[in-house]
């Protein structure tokens, strides 16, 4: 992106010669496969669940392979009339998101089979949401940011309400929808003001316009504020987090796993790009706002998580708190800060996806066993699942041998380097508070007897100690993230090596 | 001068209809007032040099979208007047405060940024060279053709969504083949306690 | 002549009315209608900026067109969800739909 700063948009796409579609190849593949899955389901209405899931997986794999080939892209940094960026930043986030989606497909297959809710619309929606997420990481124009955001949000509203026989699912869908649409309006207002201030919606063009002080600055300030509110909603930062616990709790758990990981990555990728590219000239103006957002998010998320008795809700608040930690990296706004935030965004999805995956496995059919007490004595009933969950929770808490620890250290170090040590201090304190509720679950799993009384018999939780109950696919989907957190925890250098070139958006 | 008169005639109507819309007790009245509002906005698009958006606003918004709204309101029953009693005390005032705060904030930003003093309405002959529709088409299918394609995905998703949730499914109401533990989800007059599934089981 | 700030102020008022509607109304359909009002206020902003910036790229108008499309998609999905809720619960009042802690 750095090199495009001078090149302001507006020119017709076609005037530049032939259209370069390669950089959006992954999205084209995803959308194509989504349509194929839809048609397959329509053409062969008898249940082909495995085929649909396999086709979706193949599509995701193809998109990932294609993204990987873009790593060595040497063409222009923005294509299609300055709408889409083709940099390694995008490739990196695409791969993360595609990985998330692939694991989500595995979880979904098992969930839908178990809940008997197999319907052809599921996988296309998942793929469309994935396409929206990957597209937003590549967006180099606010118009694409907005449209991609809508594609992913609309798909997720629908997926949230997919479990049509559970009331909570429909309700979560409605709340998520109303607040999501509300936040989109703010986001849009921000875009309009940014356009008014600079005369363009192109990110590089906005940065250019703001550096030259051409436009009225107060409009740009209002714009950055409104955009921050919009992004704050999408990443569930604190004053704007109200939807997250409800949506996460009510949604089918496989969808919760997908959106808690995917949306956050996608929204933060756009957040980084918009604020660290477009609004970089106003960095000293938006920084205090994001600073406060980060501090509030970390503290409130961690504290509220303690009070939860429902596991999905607890993890939802935990994911709110993690948005705060990532915001610390955004606030640092240095190269190290971006790198740290990206590291966080690479390992956080693994942790939260794996954790929700375990929740899905344990909760059983119909999502009954969601209270904390369902986890009592889990280690005795299913040692392997308990071990995986323990590892993931340790990582979420940020305990040393795991990737979560490295990620937290990275963002806090970046914050301190940028002179935000109070923010790092708040972060450390919030981590300590947060460690409490993660450890509480681990203690429950390992040190308590299974609860039998109060209608909470094992049979009713749907999880019956048999290894087969987990399902091999489900187990893969929770074991892979756990393994990743361990690998990146012990060898963080692998990821940081990749990030060295992937984190260049501006500097 | 003409546009000045149009503005001062239409703007109060527009704001009045918007305010009446959010305060009306009857949902149908609200929908009709919103249609009025959309018509006034269409007039704004006209005086701001965008006859195409003027037409689209009326056909798509005031026509299609609002008809959909009215349809759903009718489907769900109109007699049910919403009680304006608030559950969370002070929510209304908080909302009012937030709304007013936003107006003041933006007004200040505009005041400082653009200033209330200068600049009339420019003429659009240069921008709308060869007609507004043609000019719009030129940019839409050149610079903006990629976003244009993205909207097609958006519409597919919307179509899937409408089918998914709007369709009445066989076996939706029956709980024969539904698992035992889904029983809580049967529509019933009494709300299921939020505390969780464990208590709901007899 | 109308000046740009009047238009911006006007759209800010409409937007705020929408914000108030979203926060104060309980009927989900009305909340959705208030959101539509907000989106339309933004459209006025976009078209007004387009006019005063003399933007030959017509960014504002094109954006407004996209916003209308997005709004249509949003309304379609929103009303589908509302119908789903109504079928299950016989109410679409936001605060009566409270299985999940709000």
Q: What is the pLDDT of residue C99?
A: 60
- Residue A57 Cα distances to A51, A107, A108, angstroms: 10, 12, 12
Q: What is the pLDDT of residue A291?
A: 92
Q: What is the pLDDT of residue A495?
A: 87
- Cβ-defined contact of B82 to C25 (cutoff 8 Å): yes
Q: What is the DSSP string of B77-95?
A: -SS-PPP---SSTTHHHHH
Neighbours of A283 (CB within 10 A): 13
Average pLDDT over residues B165-190: 46
Q: What is the pLDDT of residue C84?
A: 84
A267-323 pLDDT, tens digit per residue, is 999 999 999 888 888 888 888 989 999 999 999 999 999 888 888 999 999 999 999
Helices and strands: H and E segment counts in chain B: 8, 0
Residue A488 and residue A405 in contact, taking contact as beta carbons nearer than 8 Å = no
Neighbours of A251 (CB within 10 A): 31
Chain A residues close to B146, C-beta within 8 Å: 13, 24, 80-81, 83-84, 144
Residue A453 confidence class, pLDDT cut points 50, 70, 90: very low
Average pLDDT over residues A234-256: 90
**Chains B & C: contacts with CB separation below 8 Å:** 255
Residue A476 confidence class, pLDDT cut points 50, 70, 90: confident
Which of the other chains make 3 or more beta carbon contacts under 8 angstroms with chain A? Answer: B, C
Residue A74 confidence class, pLDDT cut points 50, 70, 90: confident
The mean-pLDDT minimum among A171-180, A375-384, B122-131 falls in: B122-131
Average pLDDT over residues A247-262: 92
- Residues constituting chain A: 507
For residues A478 and A390, what is the distance between their CA atoms, to the nearest angstrom?
Answer: 12
- Residue A21 Cα distances to A25, A84, A137, A491, B146, angstroms: 6, 10, 16, 36, 10
C55-69 pLDDT, tens digit per residue, is 778 889 999 999 999
Single out the residue of A58, A204, C53 nearest to residue C61, CA to CA: C53
Q: What is the pLDDT of residue A183?
A: 93
- Beta-sheet strands, E only, within A47-174: 78-79, 84-85
Nearest chain B residue to C30 by CA distance is B27
Neighbours of B166 (CB within 10 A): 16
Q: What is the pLDDT of residue A466?
A: 43
For residues C95 and B86, what is the distance between their CA atoms, to the nearest angstrom?
Answer: 10
Chain B residues close to C50, C-beta within 8 Å: 48, 50
What is the model's pTM?
Answer: 0.89
Assess whether pLDDT exceeds 70 at residue B89. Answer: no
Average pLDDT over residues A376-403: 88
For residues A187 and A190, what is the distance between their CA atoms, to the nearest angstrom?
Answer: 5
What does the longest C-alpha to C-alpha distance in chain B come to?
Answer: 74
Neighbouring C-alpha atoms within 13 Å toward the C-beta of B100: 6
- Residue A45 Cα distances to A33, A42, A49, B62, B181, angstroms: 18, 6, 10, 38, 27
The mean-pLDDT minimum among A85-99, A183-197, B64-78 falls in: B64-78
> Which residue range is the domain that position A390 belongs to?
21-74+87-502
Residue A181 and residue A230 in contact, taking contact as beta carbons nearer than 8 Å = no
Q: Identify the H or E element spanning A292.
A: helix A283-306
For residues A97 and A263, what is the distance between their CA atoms, to the nearest angstrom?
Answer: 9
**Which neighbouring-strand residues pair with A139?**
A84
Neighbours of B94 (CB within 10 A): 14
- Cβ-defined contact of C70 to A193 (cutoff 8 Å): no
**Residue B121 per-residue DSSP state:** P
Single out the residue of A299, A254, A238 nearest to residue A101, CA to CA: A254
A77-105 pLDDT, tens digit per residue, is 888 888 898 888 999 999 999 999 999 99
A12 within a domain of the structure (yes/no): no
Torsion, CA A278, CA A280, CA A286, CA A290, rounded to 10: 90
Average pLDDT over residues B19-47: 91
- Cβ-defined contact of A171 to C102 (cutoff 8 Å): no
Indicate the fold that domain B1-79+93-122 takes in CATH. Answer: 1.20.120
Q: What is the pLDDT of residue B198?
A: 38
A169 within a domain of the structure (yes/no): yes
**Residue B57 per-residue DSSP state:** I
- Cβ-defined contact of B144 to A81 (cutoff 8 Å): yes
ipTM (interface pTM): 0.94
Chain C residues close to B91, C-beta within 8 Å: 23-24
For residues B17 and A6, what is the distance between their CA atoms, to the nearest angstrom?
Answer: 45
Q: What is the pLDDT of residue B168?
A: 65
> Considering only CB atoms, which residues of chain B are within 8 Å of chain A?
105-106, 108-110, 112-114, 139, 142-147, 150-151, 153-154, 156-158, 160-161, 163-165, 169, 172, 177-182, 184-185, 187, 192, 196-199, 201
Neighbours of A309 (CB within 10 A): 12
Q: What is the pLDDT of residue A30?
A: 95
Residue A295 and residue A411 in contact, taking contact as beta carbons nearer than 8 Å = no
> What is the total count of domains within chain A?
1
- Cβ-defined contact of A158 to C77 (cutoff 8 Å): yes
Please indicate whether residue C29 or residue A462 has the higher confidence score (pLDDT): C29
Per the prediction, chain C carries an average pLDDT of: 85
The alpha-carbon gap from A140 to the nearest alpha carbon of chain B, in Å, equals: 11
A98 within a domain of the structure (yes/no): yes
Residue ranges per structural domain of chain B? 1-79+93-122, 123-170
Interface probe with B: pick from A164, A165, A210, A458, most Cβ of B within 10 Å? A165
For residues A256 and A313, what is the distance between their CA atoms, to the nearest angstrom?
Answer: 11
Domains identified in chain C and CATH numbers: 4-89 (1.10.287.3510)
Assess whether pLDDT exceeds 50 at residue B143. Answer: yes
For residues A355 and A311, what is the distance between their CA atoms, to the nearest angstrom?
Answer: 10
Q: What is the pLDDT of residue A79?
A: 84
The alpha-carbon gap from B154 to the nearest alpha carbon of chain A, in Å, equals: 5
Pairing between β-strand A84-85 and β-strand A78-79 as defined by DSSP bridges: antiparallel
Residue B126 confidence class, pLDDT cut points 50, 70, 90: low
Tokens 């700063």 locate to A5
Q: What is the pLDDT of residue A340?
A: 92
Assess whether pLDDT exceeds 80 at residue A362. Answer: yes
For residues B24 and A501, what is the distance between their CA atoms, to the nearest angstrom?
Answer: 57
For residues C21 and C27, what is the distance between their CA atoms, to the nearest angstrom?
Answer: 10
Q: Which 3 state secondary structure label does DSSP give A86?
A: coil
For residues A414 and A331, what is the distance between their CA atoms, to the nearest angstrom?
Answer: 9
Residue B91 confidence class, pLDDT cut points 50, 70, 90: low
Q: What is the pLDDT of residue A132?
A: 95
A11 within a domain of the structure (yes/no): no
For residues A35 and A124, what is the distance between their CA atoms, to the nearest angstrom?
Answer: 7
**Which neighbouring-strand residues pair with C93?**
C27
* DSSP helix, strand, coil percent of chain A (3-state; round to 5): 80, 0, 20
Residue B72 and residue B66 in contact, taking contact as beta carbons nearer than 8 Å = no
The mean-pLDDT minimum among A237-241, A268-272, A351-355 falls in: A237-241
Tokens 């019933």 locate to B188
Per the prediction, chain A carries an average pLDDT of: 85
For chain A, the distance separating the N- and C-terminal CA atoms, rounded to the nearest angstrom, is 9
Assess whether pLDDT exceeds 80 at residue A345. Answer: yes
Assess whether pLDDT exceeds 60 at residue B191. Answer: no
Average pLDDT over residues C39-50: 92
For residues A451 and A373, what is the distance between their CA atoms, to the nearest angstrom?
Answer: 7
Average pLDDT over residues A344-367: 87
Average pLDDT over residues A437-459: 71
Assess whether pLDDT exceeds 50 at residue B190. Answer: no
**Which neighbouring-strand residues pair with A202?**
A141
């Amino acid at each position: 992106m750095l090199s495009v700063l001078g090149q302001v948009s507006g020119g017709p796409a076609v005037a530049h010669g032939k259209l370069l579609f390669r950089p959006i190849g992954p999205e084209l593949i995803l959308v194509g496969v989504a349509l194929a899955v839809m048609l397959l389901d329509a053409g062969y209405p008898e249940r082909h669940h495995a085929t649909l899931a396999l086709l979706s997986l193949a599509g995701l794999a193809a998109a990932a392979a294609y993204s990987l080939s873009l790593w060595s892209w040497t063409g222009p940094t923005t294509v299609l009339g300055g709408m889409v960026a083709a940099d390694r930043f995008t490739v990196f986030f695409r791969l993360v998101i595609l990985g998330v989606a692939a694991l989500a497909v595995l979880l979904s297959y098992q969930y839908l089979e178990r809940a008997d809710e197999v319907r052809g619309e599921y996988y296309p929606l998942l793929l469309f949401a994935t396409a929206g997420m990957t597209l937003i990481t590549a967006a180099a124009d606010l118009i694409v940011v907005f449209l991609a955001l809508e594609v992913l949000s609309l798909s997720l509203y629908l997926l949230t309400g997919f479990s049509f026989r559970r009331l909570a699912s429909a309700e979560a869908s409605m709340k998520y929808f109303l607040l999501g649409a509300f936040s989109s309006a703010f986001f849009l207002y921000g875009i309009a003001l940014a356009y008014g201030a600079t005369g363009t919606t192109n990110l590089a063009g906005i940065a250019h316009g703001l550096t030259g002080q051409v436009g009225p600055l107060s409009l740009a300030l209002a714009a950055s504020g409104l955009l921050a509110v919009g992004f704050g909603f999408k990443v569930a930062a604190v004053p704007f987090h109200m939807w997250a616990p409800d949506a996460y709790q009510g949604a089918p758990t496989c969808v919760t796993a997908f959106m808690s990981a995917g949306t956050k990555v996608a929204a933060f990728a756009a957040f980084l790009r918009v604020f660290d590219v477009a609004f970089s000239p106003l960095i000293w103006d938006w920084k205090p706002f994001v600073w406060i957002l980060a501090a509030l998010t970390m503290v409130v998320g961690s504290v509220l998580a303690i009070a939860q008795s429902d596991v999905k809700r607890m993890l939802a608040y935990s994911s709110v708190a993690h948005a705060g930690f990532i915001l610390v990296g955004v606030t640092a706004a240095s190269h190290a800060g971006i790198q740290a935030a990206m590291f966080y965004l690479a390992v956080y999805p693994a942790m939260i996806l794996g954790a929700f995956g375990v929740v899905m496995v344990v909760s059983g059919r119909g999502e009954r066993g969601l209270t904390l007490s369902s986890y009592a004595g889990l280690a005795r009933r299913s040692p392997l699942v308990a071990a995986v969950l323990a590892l993931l929770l340790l990582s979420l808490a940020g305990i040393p041998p795991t990737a979560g620890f490295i990620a937290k250290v990275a963002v806090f170090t970046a914050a301190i380097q940028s002179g935000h040590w109070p923010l790092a201090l708040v972060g450390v304190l919030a981590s300590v508070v947060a460690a409490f509720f993660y450890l509480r679950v681990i203690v429950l799993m390992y040190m308590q007897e299974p609860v039998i009384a109060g209608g909470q018999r094992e049979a009713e939780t749907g999880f019956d100690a048999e290894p087969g109950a987990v399902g091999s696919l489900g187990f893969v989907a929770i074991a892979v993230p756990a393994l990743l957190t361990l690998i990146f925890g012990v060898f963080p250098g692998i990821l940081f090596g990749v990030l060295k070139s992937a984190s260049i958006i501006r500097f | 001068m003409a546009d000045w008169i149009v503005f001062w005639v239409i703007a109060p109507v527009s704001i009045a209809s918007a305010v009446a819309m959010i305060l009306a007790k009857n949902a149908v009245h609200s929908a009709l007032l919103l249609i009025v509002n959309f018509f006034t906005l269409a007039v704004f698009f006209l005086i701001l040099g965008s006859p195409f958006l003027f037409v689209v606003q009326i056909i798509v918004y005031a026509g299609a979208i609002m008809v959909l709204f009215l349809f759903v309101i009718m489907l769900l029953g109109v007699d049910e007047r919403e009680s304006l009693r608030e559950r969370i005390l002070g929510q209304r005032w908080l909302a009012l405060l937030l709304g007013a705060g936003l107006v003041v904030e933006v007004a200040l930003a505009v005041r400082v940024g653009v200033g209330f003093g200068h600049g009339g309405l420019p003429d659009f002959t240069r921008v709308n060279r060869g007609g507004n529709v043609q000019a719009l088409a030129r940019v839409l299918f050149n610079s903006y053709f990629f976003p244009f394609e993205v909207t097609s995905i958006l519409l597919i998703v919307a179509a899937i969504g409408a089918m998914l949730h709007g369709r009445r499914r066989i076996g939706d109401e029956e709980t024969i083949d539904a698992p035992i533990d889904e029983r809580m989800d049967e529509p019933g007059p009494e709300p299921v306690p939020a505390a969780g599934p464990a208590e709901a089981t007899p | 002549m109308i000046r740009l700030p009047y238009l911006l102020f006007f759209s800010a008022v409409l937007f705020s009315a929408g914000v108030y509607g979203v926060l104060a109304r309980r009927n989900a359909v009305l909340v959705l209608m208030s959101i539509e009002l907000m989106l339309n206020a933004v459209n006025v902003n976009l078209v007004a900026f387009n006019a005063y910036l003399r933007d030959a790229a017509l960014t504002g108008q094109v954006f407004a067109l996209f916003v209308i499309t997005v709004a249509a998609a949003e309304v379609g999905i929103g009303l589908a969800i509302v119908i789903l809720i109504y079928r299950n619960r016989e109410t679409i009042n936001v605060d009566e739909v409270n299985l999940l802690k709000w």
